[in-house]
């Protein structure tokens, strides 16, 4: 059970959070301009890395804010947490 | 014939407090402080159980939670009975009853013992190999196997006890209150760390508290005396919480641990009532200090499992701590010096020690010299090749070991004895350490796995990290404490330690016998009857991975999880396969460390607290009026209101007719309601719904369909524009929380530039839906001064009004196709509103209807229910709802996906109506639909999603999804059922009032 440092509330138990999949996949601004393949890339394709992964998390049972997390999936070490819209830390 | 097996204990037994208890129906006596095991041993009872597979007689082997044999049923036949309890952990109390498991008719005479003589026919993988053929017989085999499998009996009535959960936060958690744990906790608290010390036993001090080697000294005192003083000092320390009888079950990442605190198991029945029995502590610790100690290893030799064969350290603990001698003629078998300490413990109490058999060539430590001086015979370089005695050990046979340790030579010597202490060295208890994700490495010299890479803020101290001697323990503990607590000095700095040096070691995982291995029974896992022979067989049959060997032989898979024998299993595999133990690795240690009761796991979440449920403000009225309820998400919704013993069908038919003929009323409070405000609210709705919202006038309502980004229908509902920048959205009952979450997600992550604020107000309003041709007259009676004319208050519009002094929001919207109003009031006025409607509607025979009638009425109109007629694979086009998808809007959630090649396929499943050839036949929801009735496999075209008998049309109607159904209007299809085929015709899904004339009726 992780201890997650919500950027708005501080350290809270993982129970309060919801994982939201891979981070930094921006919704295309002009979807109609995209080919089926390009749209499918946005819609379906997600990475599942053993190692450092960028993820979205939501403090669902707390402030309900979304934020980003850098997590090593091999040992669950949380390497960084930053707000939505902020640049990911360089590795 | 009762022997006096009690000797002077070190003060942990209260000999003035005699306790009687029953074991296998016979009454025995012990003293306060005894465990069931120590009390039985004091009564010369060694035989306590039968092994799992061969039903061999088994005795008490250990003095702790690692016990593999002495597992008993506590208080059999009562609602507090508990199986698989280790007798070594049960503290006796007046009235305790316990019985042996896995034997019939009794532990003394067990019919299953025949398996022992048949054991050549029960090799590893016996069940897999034997019951494979013929495959169809498996169900028959299973019946018999299930019957003979399993240990103990579960209680037959409900658990009378209370269980609890508690969150605990601390700076430092110390696990284990042996010498290392006590010193760690003391120094942590002295440096102002809020510390929690947990210990699975009821006394602090670990094994040092009964340490008796006179050559070991701390500050010139016996270590046990010295430690007692330290423990005494702990009691005055603030900032330190000590929990005994508390076993850490699991160690998860981020220093999150689960521990079970045992509060009443040691109390008499009369003192257990109305108290919390066990409490699950959910611990978050900033730092964890593991001081879990080490478990003594047995030695693996032929017939090493007879009652009377025990761990040497257990014999010492029973003698020193409990004041119980386990045998009158004792022999020890060892590969290290610790057995000599146990031997001296007995010798000093005047108990006969016949001999010590040592596989080493010699040892020069002082304790060994002392034993020699005492005249106890030591057989160096010898090994036990066999033992005798069925229900109790009566002799051991020994032979000289060859230099390489693989065979025995010379003549056999038989030594008569009734108790054998085995000492195979020590295994650090690293279970919790590895559970946390930390990694071990194998120490070739000590032959142990030791902590290596820590996964979290933790340290391992004392014998659980391989420090077995008091001098190394204190030196390393001191250094680690300074590092981890970031302190300069500790009270360990000036401790003077003298120890008895041990300098010779010899480790042989599997000791040879004069017989070939195939004719011997060297048990590695006592509880599951796995022998060294089984492990070697598994290797011969090609198993290589340690995880596979474990599962094939069941080594380490008992309730004790192989705490004693796992290391030997690894050693034997490594030796046989010719690999290094470091390369072989270990099996995974999984939680819990010792078994947990279900009660502890669920805590207070039982009965009506099992899951949260939600009730509407009108709930009491529904109960008073005998409604049947159904669960919709967490909501309890009125399902139907039977009158005079009506069946559900009869009630629903009556309610449905009444709603269309005069007036009906539905509790719609559970619908999700989201208040949307902000200058970009209209733009936001444009983006999340498929249709256009910008031009919706204030005071008007509109139905909206919400898609997922993949184009599939996600939710639907009516949204009302309350003001220029203010809307109220309704969602489905079950989808409310997810819809809010999804909208917040888009607002925060994709469109943070939009000025929109969302508030869930589901619980803030109660909603009564008034429907039917007389609904207008009823509303008029409640709010006389509101103009209800179609001009002032048309369908799909909204009015703010007052019922008396109560503010209300009224939407003229309809889910039934009838003229109807949804009246919303502040939630606490919900029941008043409902009763007012009922009172006003009396003259029109207003009929309350539940969710089932609501479903029927909307199905007559062909309105979908998201989640019933859709399943996450239906687009609006599939639902024949093209009209709601805006062609003009540049974008909305899911729009692009409606133009993917897959979503544009003509042969997708599409929503249609179905009419049965026989109007009285009602289809089953979920029934499969085909176009032909051949004998062979036929293609499934779709399935029935909603089906009812319509009282208003007097015929059966159904909605279904059918492949290419849009173009099948009028086509005949078939629904094959178990006993018959039903003929159906594809129809328009709008069965009733196709022109919507009733909305303004």
Evaluate if residue B344 carries a pLDDT over 80. Answer: yes
Query: Which chain A residues have a beta carbon less than 8 Å from that of B758?
Result: none
CATH topology of domain B611-904: Gyrase A; domain 2 (3.30.1360)
Domain locations in chain A?
3-27+35-83
Contact B253 A39 (CB under 8 A): no
Nearest by Cα to B819 from B782, B850, B855, B778: B778
pLDDT score at B252: 95
For B340, half-sphere exposure in the C-beta direction (CA atoms, 13 angstrom radius) is: 28
Evaluate if residue B93 carries a pLDDT over 80. Answer: yes
Q: What is the ipTM of this complex?
A: 0.98
- Give the SS3 label for residue B495: coil
Q: What is the pTM of this model?
A: 0.90
Evaluate if residue B358 carries a pLDDT over 50. Answer: yes
pLDDT score at B148: 57
Query: Which chain B residues have a beta carbon less than 8 Å from that of A66?
Result: 744-745, 748-749
> How far is C-alpha B151 from the chain's CA centre?
20
- Residue B371 CA to residue B352 CA, distance in Å, equals 12
The tokens for B869 are: 């007629």
Predicted confidence (pLDDT) per residue in B539-588, tens digit: 999 998 888 999 899 888 888 888 898 999 999 999 999 999 988 888 88
**Confidence band of B1 (pLDDT split at 50, 70, 90):** very low
The CA-CA-CA angle for residues B772, B773, B776, to 5°, reads 90
A49 at the B interface (CB within 8 A)? Answer: no
Predicted confidence (pLDDT) per residue in B951-971, tens digit: 999 999 999 999 999 999 999
Evaluate if residue B751 carries a pLDDT over 70. Answer: yes
Q: Determine which helix (DSSP H) or strand (DSSP E) holds B944, and give its type and residue range.
A: strand B942-950
Across the range B381-393, mean pLDDT stands at 96
Query: Which chain B residues have a beta carbon less than 8 Å from that of A1?
Result: 252-254, 256
DSSP B689: B
Picking from B75-84, B95-104, B182-191, which range would have the lowest pLDDT averaged per residue?
B95-104
CATH of domain B905-1001: 2.40.30.110
On whether the CB atoms of residues A56 and A68 are closer than 8 A, the answer is yes
CA distances (Å), origin B96, targets B20, B50, B100, B247: 8, 21, 14, 22
User: Looking at chain B, which residue has its C-alpha nearest residue A35?
Assistant: B900
Nearest by Cα to B72 from B42, B35, B43: B35
Say whether the peptide bond before residue B252 is cis (omega within 30 degrees of 0). Answer: no
Which residue reads 């606490």 in tokens?
Answer: B828
How would you class B980 by CB atoms within 10 Å of its CB: exposed for 0-12, middle for 13-18, buried for 19 or more? exposed
Contact B752 A85 (CB under 8 A): yes
Q: How far is A3 from chain B (nearest CA, A)?
A: 6
Kindly report the three-state secondary structure assignment for every residue of B380-448. ECEEEEEEECCCCCCEEEEEEECCCCCCEEEEEEEEECCEEEEECCEEECCHHHHHCCCEEEEECCCCE
User: Looking at chain B, which residue has its C-alpha nearest residue A2?
Assistant: B254
Evaluate if residue B143 carries a pLDDT over 80. Answer: no
Residue of B455, B744, B749, B895 to mutate, testing the A interface (most A Cβ within 10 Å of its Cβ): B749
* Residue among A34, A76, A84 minimizing CB distance to B896: A34
Judge whether B162-294+428-498 and B307-424 match in fold: yes
Across the range B18-27, mean pLDDT stands at 96
- Residue B290 CA to residue B185 CA, distance in Å, equals 11
- Residue B994 CA to residue B861 CA, distance in Å, equals 8
A19 at the B interface (CB within 8 A)? Answer: no
For B610, half-sphere exposure in the C-beta direction (CA atoms, 13 angstrom radius) is: 4
Which residue reads 């611990």 in tokens?
Answer: B283
Predicted confidence (pLDDT) per residue in B799-842, tens digit: 999 999 999 999 999 999 999 999 999 999 999 999 999 999 99
CATH topology of domain A3-27+35-83: Folate-binding fold (3.30.2270)
CATH 3.10.20.440 is held by the domain B15-116:
yes
Q: How far is A37 from chain B (nearest CA, A)?
A: 9
User: Looking at chain B, which residue has its C-alpha nearest residue A1?
Assistant: B253
CATH of domain B307-424: 3.50.50.60
- Give the SS3 label for residue B584: helix
Evaluate if residue B894 carries a pLDDT over 60. Answer: yes
Predicted confidence (pLDDT) per residue in B417-446, tens digit: 999 999 999 999 999 999 999 999 999 899
A45 at the B interface (CB within 8 A)? Answer: no
pLDDT per residue, tens digit, chain A (91 aa), is 899 999 999 999 999 999 999 999 999 999 999 999 999 999 999 999 999 999 999 999 999 999 999 999 998 999 999 999 999 987 5
Predicted confidence (pLDDT) per residue in B407-424, tens digit: 999 999 999 999 999 999
Nearest by Cα to B807 from B781, B780, B832, B838: B832
Where does residue B38 fall: left (phi above 0), alpha (psi -120 to 50 degrees), or beta otherwise? alpha
Q: How far is A75 from chain B (nearest CA, A)?
A: 7
**Confidence band of B948 (pLDDT split at 50, 70, 90):** very high
Say whether the peptide bond before residue B972 is cis (omega within 30 degrees of 0). Answer: no
Predicted confidence (pLDDT) per residue in B619-637, tens digit: 999 999 999 999 999 999 9
Evaluate if residue B55 carries a pLDDT over 90. Answer: no
> How far is C-alpha B458 from the chain's CA centre?
25
pLDDT score at B127: 63
Nearest by Cα to B101 from B61, B149, B62: B149
Query: Which chain A residues have a beta carbon less than 8 Å from that of B437?
Result: 75-76
pLDDT score at B151: 72
pLDDT score at B134: 66
Query: Which chain B residues have a beta carbon less than 8 Å from that of A75?
Result: 437, 455
Contact A32 B897 (CB under 8 A): no
* Residue among A3, A60, A65 minimizing CB distance to B284: A3
The tokens for B593 are: 């460390």
* Residue among A1, A31, A58 minimizing CB distance to B891: A31
> Which residues are within 8 A (CB) of B911 and not within 5 positions of it... i.e. 6 or more apart?
B864, B869, B874, B878, B879, B880, B945, B959, B960, B961, B965, B989
* The listed CATH number (3.50.50.60, 3.40.50.300, 3.40.50.720, 3.40.50.2300) that belongs to domain B162-294+428-498: 3.50.50.60
Query: Which chain A residues have a beta carbon less than 8 Å from that of B709?
Result: 27, 43
- Residue B991 CA to residue B968 CA, distance in Å, equals 16
Contact A40 B900 (CB under 8 A): yes
pLDDT score at B958: 98
Domain locations in chain B?
15-116, 162-294+428-498, 307-424, 528-605, 611-904, 905-1001
User: Looking at chain A, which residue has its C-alpha nearest residue B257?
Assistant: A1
- Residue B616 CA to residue B636 CA, distance in Å, equals 8
Mean pLDDT, chain B, rounded, equals 93
Nearest by Cα to B332 from B316, B356, B350: B356
pLDDT score at B132: 62
Q: How many residues does chain B have?
A: 1001
Residue of A31, A61, A68 to mutate, testing the B interface (most B Cβ within 10 Å of its Cβ): A31
- Give the SS3 label for residue B523: strand
**Residues B638, B643, B646, B650: is their CA dihedral positive or negative?**
negative
Predicted confidence (pLDDT) per residue in B366-378, tens digit: 999 999 999 999 9
The tokens for B655 are: 């309610």
CATH topology of domain B528-605: Arc Repressor Mutant, subunit A (1.10.10)
Residue of A30, A41, A43 to mutate, testing the B interface (most B Cβ within 10 Å of its Cβ): A43
Predicted confidence (pLDDT) per residue in B152-177, tens digit: 888 999 999 999 999 999 999 999 99
Nearest by Cα to B423 from B507, B362, B526, B530: B507
Q: How far is A56 from chain B (nearest CA, A)?
A: 10
Across the range B9-20, mean pLDDT stands at 89
Nearest by Cα to B299 from B261, B339, B262: B339
* Residue among A27, A39, A65 minimizing CB distance to B748: A65
Q: Determine which helix (DSSP H) or strand (DSSP E) holds B537, and give its type and residue range.
A: helix B532-540
**Residues B705, B708, B712, B715: is their CA dihedral positive or negative?**
negative
Q: How far is B825 from chain A (nearest CA, A)?
A: 27
């Amino acid at each position: 059970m992780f201890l997650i440092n919500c950027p708005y509330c501080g350290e809270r138990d993982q129970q309060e959070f919801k994982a939201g999949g891979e981070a930094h996949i921006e919704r295309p601004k002009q979807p109609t301009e995209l080919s089926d393949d390009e749209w499918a890339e946005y819609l379906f394709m997600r990475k599942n890395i053993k190692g450092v992964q960028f993820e979205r998390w939501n403090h669902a049972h707390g402030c309900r804010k979304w934020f980003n997390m850098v997590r090593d999936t091999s040992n669950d070490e949380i390497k960084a947490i930053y707000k939505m819209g902020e640049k990911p830390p360089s590795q | 014939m009762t022997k006096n097996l009690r000797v002077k204990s070190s003060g942990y037994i209260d000999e003035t407090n005699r306790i009687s208890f029953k074991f296998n129906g016979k009454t025995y006596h012990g003293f306060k402080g005894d465990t069931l095991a120590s009390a039985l041993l004091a009564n010369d009872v060694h035989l306590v159980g039968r092994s799992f597979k061969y039903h061999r007689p088994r005795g008490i082997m250990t003095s702790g939670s690692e016990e593999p044999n002495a597992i008993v049923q506590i208080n059999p036949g009562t609602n507090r009975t508990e199986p698989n309890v280790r007798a070594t952990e049960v503290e006796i109390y007046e009235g305790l009853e316990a019985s042996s498991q896995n034997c019939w008719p009794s532990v003394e005479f067990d019919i299953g013992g025949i398996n022992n003589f048949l054991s050549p026919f029960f090799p590893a993988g016996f069940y897999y190999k034997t019951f494979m053929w013929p495959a169809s017989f498996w169900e028959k085999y299973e019946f018999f196997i299930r019957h003979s499998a399993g240990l103990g009996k579960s209680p037959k009535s409900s658990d009378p006890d209370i269980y609890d959960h508690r969150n605990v936060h601390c700076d430092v958690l110390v696990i284990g209150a042996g010498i290392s744990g006590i010193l760690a906790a003391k120094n942590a608290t002295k440096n102002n760390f809020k510390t929690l010390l947990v210990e699975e036993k009821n006394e602090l001090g670990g094994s040092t508290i009964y340490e008796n080697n006179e050559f070991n000294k701390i500050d010139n005192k016996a270590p046990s005396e010295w430690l007692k003083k330290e423990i005494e000092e702990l009691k005055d320390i603030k900032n330190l919480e000590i929990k005994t009888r508390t076993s850490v079950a699991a160690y998860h990442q981020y220093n999150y641990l689960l521990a079970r605190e045992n509060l009443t198991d040691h109390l008499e029945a009369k003192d257990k009532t109305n108290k919390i029995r066990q409490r699950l502590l959910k611990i978050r610790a900033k730092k964890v200090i593991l001081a879990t100690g080490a478990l003594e290893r047995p030695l693996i030799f032929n017939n090493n499992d007879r009652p009377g064969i025990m761990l040497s350290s257990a014999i010492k603990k029973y003698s020193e701590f409990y004041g119980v001698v386990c045998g009158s003629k004792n022999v020890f078998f060892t590969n290290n010096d610790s057995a000599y300490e146990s031997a001296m413990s007995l010798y000093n109490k005047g108990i006969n020690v016949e001999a010590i058999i040592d596989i080493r060539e010699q040892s020069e430590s002082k304790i060994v010299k002392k034993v020699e001086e005492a005249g106890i015979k030591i057989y160096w370089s010898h090994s036990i090749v066999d033992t005798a005695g069925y229900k109790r050990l009566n002799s051991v046979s020994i032979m000289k070991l060859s230099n390489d340790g693989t065979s025995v030579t010379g003549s056999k010597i038989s030594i008569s004895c009734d108790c054998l202490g085995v000492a195979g060295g020590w295994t650090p208890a690293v279970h919790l350490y590895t559970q946390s994700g930390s990694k071990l490495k194998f120490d070739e010299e000590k032959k142990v796995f030791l902590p290596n890479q820590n996964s979290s803020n933790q340290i391992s101290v004392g014998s659980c990290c391989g420090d077995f001697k008091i001098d190394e323990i204190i030196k390393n503990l001191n250094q680690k404490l300074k590092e981890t607590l970031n302190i300069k000095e500790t009270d360990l700095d000036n401790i003077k330690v003298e120890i008895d040096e041990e300098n010779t070691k010899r480790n042989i995982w599997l000791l040879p016998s004069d017989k070939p291995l195939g004719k011997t029974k060297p048990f590695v896992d006592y509880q599951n009857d796995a022998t060294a022979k089984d492990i070697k067989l598994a290797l011969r049959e090609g198993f290589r991975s340690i995880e596979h060997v474990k599962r094939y032989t069941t080594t380490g898979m008992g309730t004790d999880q192989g705490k004693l024998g796992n290391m030997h299993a690894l050693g034997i595999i490594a030796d046989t396969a010719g690999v290094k133990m470091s390369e072989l690795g270990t099996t995974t240690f999984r939680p819990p460390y010792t078994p947990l009761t279900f009660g502890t796991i669920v805590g207070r979440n039982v009965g009506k607290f099992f899951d949260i449920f939600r009730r509407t403000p009108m709930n009491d009225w529904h109960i008073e009026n005998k409604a049947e309820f159904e669960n919709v998400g967490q909501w309890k919704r009125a399902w139907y209101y039977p009158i005079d013993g009506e069946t559900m069908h009869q009630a629903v038919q009556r309610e449905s007719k009444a709603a269309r003929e005069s007036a009906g009323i539905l509790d719609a409070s559970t619908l999700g309601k989201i208040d949307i405000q902000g200058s970009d609210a209209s733009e936001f709705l444009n983006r999340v719904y498929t249709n256009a919202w910008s031009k919706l006038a204030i005071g008007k309502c509109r139905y909206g369909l919400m898609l997922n980004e993949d184009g599939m229908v996600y939710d639907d509902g009516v949204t009302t524009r309350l003001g220029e920048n203010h809307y109220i959205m309704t969602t489905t009952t079950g989808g409310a929380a997810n819809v809010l979450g999804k909208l917040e997600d888009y607002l925060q992550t994709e469109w943070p530039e939009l000025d929109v604020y969302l508030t869930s107000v589901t619980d803030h309003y109660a909603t009564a839906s008034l429907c039917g041709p007389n609904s207008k007259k009823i509303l008029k009676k409640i709010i006389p001064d509101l103009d209800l004319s179609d001009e002032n208050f048309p369908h799909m519009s909204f009015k703010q009004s007052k019922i008396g002094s109560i503010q209300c929001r009224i939407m003229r919207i309809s889910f039934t196709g009838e003229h109807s109003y949804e009246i919303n009031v502040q939630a606490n006025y919900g029941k008043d509103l409902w009763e007012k409607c009922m009172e006003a509607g009396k003259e029109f025979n207003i009929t309350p209807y539940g969710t089932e009638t609501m479903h029927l009425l909307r199905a007559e109109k062909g309105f979908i229910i998201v989640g019933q007629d859709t399943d996450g694979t239906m687009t609006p086009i599939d639902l024949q709802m093209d009209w709601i998808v805006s062609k003009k809007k540049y974008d909305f959630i899911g729009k692009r996906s409606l133009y993917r090649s897959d979503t544009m396929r003509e042969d997708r499943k599409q929503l249609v109506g179905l009419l049965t050839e026989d109007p009285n036949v009602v289809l089953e929801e979920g029934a499969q639909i085909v176009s032909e009735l051949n004998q062979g496999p036929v293609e499934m075209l779709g399935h029935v999603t909603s089906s009812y008998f319509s009282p208003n049309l007097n015929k059966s109607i159904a909605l279904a999804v059918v492949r290419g159904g849009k173009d099948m209007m009028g086509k005949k299809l078939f629904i094959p059922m178990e006993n018959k085929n039903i003929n159906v015709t594809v129809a328009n899904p709008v069965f009733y009032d196709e022109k919507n004339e009733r909305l303004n009726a």
